[in-house]
Amino acid sequence: DVKVTQSSRYLVKRTGEKVFLECVQDMDHENMFWYRQDPGLGLRLIYFSYDVKMKEKGDIPEGYSVSREKKERFSLILESASTNQTSMYLCASSPITGTGNGELFFGEGSRLTVL
Amino acid sequence: AQSVTQPDIHITVSEGASLELRCNYSYGATPYLFWYVQSPGQGLQLLLKYFSGDTLVQGIKGFEAEFKRSQSSFNLRKPSVHWSDAAEYFCAVGARGFQKLVFGTGTRLLVSP
């Protein structure tokens, strides 16, 4: 069964802490994404990566960075967590355009609370 | 750039009744269209997708959706709702040749006994 696995389902951090959210996919997909989900706002794209060591900003990249050192792993980094980053974070992957036609495969999400 | 509107934030349907969730998109060419479902505390699961061809698309769990180019719509339907269908539903649009999907704000479905 193919999967996207997010390492932490629930995290509680303090303001100013550095936070790492890890995501691993076993489908050999080229593309990986980080979305943020907030009530009434739907899913908003933070960053995505279409290849190892490549990244592109999404719609709300401020306050975040990403790392993709291996094809299967995509990490989201909050350099200095703030309370307005309390949210549900969803990782997704997809094969290259033309093979999967944009369909995303999602992990179960990481709910981050920043105190 | 593409965009998606889901005009209904909440919908309540009686168990056994029919369901239609609305989705309107904005995109200059023929888009890729998706419906995803999210159960509480879970990630998103694909219900169905439209790329080309037949404009009536069948998905999992008895759902279907119809692509109407003239109305820029891709509404989700189910003839008879089950209590287990209570969840949040997201419509998404993708552009041919691009990697990203743009999501609507979601519609939360409540099912009453």
Burial class of residue B93 in the structure, from the number of CB atoms within 10 Å of its CB (0-12 exposed, 13-18 middle, 19+ buried)? buried
Query: Higher model confidence: residue B74 or residue B99?
Result: B74
Alpha carbon of A82: minimum distance to chain B alpha carbons (Å) = 23
Whether B90 and chain A come into contact, CB under 8 Å, resolves to yes
Alpha carbon of A33: minimum distance to chain B alpha carbons (Å) = 9
Asked if A38 contacts A88 with a C-beta cutoff of 8 angstroms, the reply is: yes
C-alpha dist (Å) from residue B31 to A78, A97, A102, B105:
33, 13, 10, 18
Query: Higher model confidence: residue B9 or residue A96?
Result: B9
The 3-state secondary structure of chain A reads CCCEEECCCEEEECCCCCEEEEEEECCCCCEEEEEEEECCCEEEEEEEECCCCCCEECCCCCCCEEEEEECCEEEEEECCCCHHHCEEEEEEEECCCCCCCCCCEECCCEEEEEC
Judged by CB atoms closer than 8 Å, whether chains meet at B104 and A45 is answered as no
Judged by CB atoms closer than 8 Å, whether chains meet at A40 and B103 is answered as no
| pLDDT score for B71 | 93
Looking up tokens 């959210």, which residue turns up? A21
| pLDDT score for A103 | 81
Judged by CB atoms closer than 8 Å, whether chains meet at B105 and A109 is answered as no
C-alpha dist (Å) from residue B113 to A73, B21, B83, B84:
43, 19, 8, 11
How is residue B69 annotated by DSSP? G
pLDDT per position as a tens digit, B84-109 = 999 999 999 987 666 678 899 999 99
- On the question of pLDDT at B74 being above 60, the answer is yes
pLDDT per position as a tens digit, B18-67 = 999 999 999 877 788 999 999 987 889 999 999 888 899 999 999 999 99
Q: Which residues of A touch B96 (CB under 8 A)?
A: 97
| pLDDT score for B41 | 79
| pLDDT score for B30 | 77
Whether A61 and chain B come into contact, CB under 8 Å, resolves to no
| pLDDT score for B43 | 87
- Going residue by residue through chain A (115 aa), what tens digit of pLDDT does each one get? 669 999 889 999 999 999 999 999 999 999 999 999 998 899 999 999 988 988 999 999 999 999 999 999 999 999 999 999 999 999 999 887 655 567 889 999 999 999 9
Alpha carbon of A42: minimum distance to chain B alpha carbons (Å) = 4
Q: Of A40, A44, A97, which has the smallest distance from its Cβ to B99's Cβ?
A: A97
| pLDDT score for B58 | 96
Judged by CB atoms closer than 8 Å, whether chains meet at B103 and A43 is answered as yes
Judged by CB atoms closer than 8 Å, whether chains meet at B43 and A90 is answered as yes
Q: Which residues of A touch B103 (CB under 8 A)?
A: 35, 42-44
| pLDDT score for A2 | 64
Asked if B5 contacts B101 with a C-beta cutoff of 8 angstroms, the reply is: no
Judged by CB atoms closer than 8 Å, whether chains meet at A104 and B44 is answered as yes
Residues with Cβ < 8 Å from A1, sequence gap 6 or more?
A: none
| pLDDT score for A99 | 53
